[in-house]
Structure 1
Amino acid sequence: MTDKRFPRKLFSVGEDPDPRFTLANERTFLAWIRTALALIAGGVALEVFGLGLHPGFRLAASFLLLTAGVAAPLQAWFGWRGTERALRHEHSLPSSITGLIITGLICAAGVCVIIGTVLA
């Protein structure tokens, strides 16, 4: 019998893990999606409302938040897929550099907001 779940290549190998682990992996995926929505909303709001920040630093911070918001769903997908694969093969869970990149983008946006506030 062929597995109809997406992505088929992932679900066609290994053994189904305990459903609690699969559901926890899915909740983590959804948390990353919520984070992406918040980052995108924050980037748009910062640029639209301005908040009295220096225009150049405000634009930079908005761009960094939007970039992090676009990177977060990539982390969600690749993190979910890697974890599901590891669970199906009973391997150690994978690490990811994307979370570190997103952290750096958010920190850089915060620095831009601080400098933009001082220079305004």
Structure 2
Amino acid sequence: MTSTIRKINPQLEYYFVEGCFILELSNTPDDPDLSIARARVRPGVTTRLHRLHKITERYVILEGMGMVSVDGEAARPVGPGDVVIIPPDSPQQISNTGRVDLVFLALCTPRFVPGAYENIDT
């Protein structure tokens, strides 16, 4: 791996079937140990129940308020500064309970690949 500075283009944000908007900040094959994305959930939206196979995910809440449920536990409130650690293969979802977008970083180890995502919403 070599030293790199990645310039982020906010216009590359896209809607993901999970129910949120994603802006990939760092997710490349040359850095397989970690991916970083900014996720944005609109007010009143709950993401689909899903899991990531063989990937640990961490949410770092930047803006907004929400409720997060991991591995069948009761939903718990989250807000700016909170870090949610989601073990591999754990069912998870997050709801925006506020009036502004819920914005968080999603850090995945190893890096996120689409084949690891499984929608388990009924």
User: Could you tell me the TM-score, scaled by structure 1's length?
Assistant: 0.22
Looking at secondary structure, tell me which structure has more helix per residue: 1
User: Could you tell me the TM-score, scaled by structure 2's length?
Assistant: 0.22
Greater Rg by CA: 1
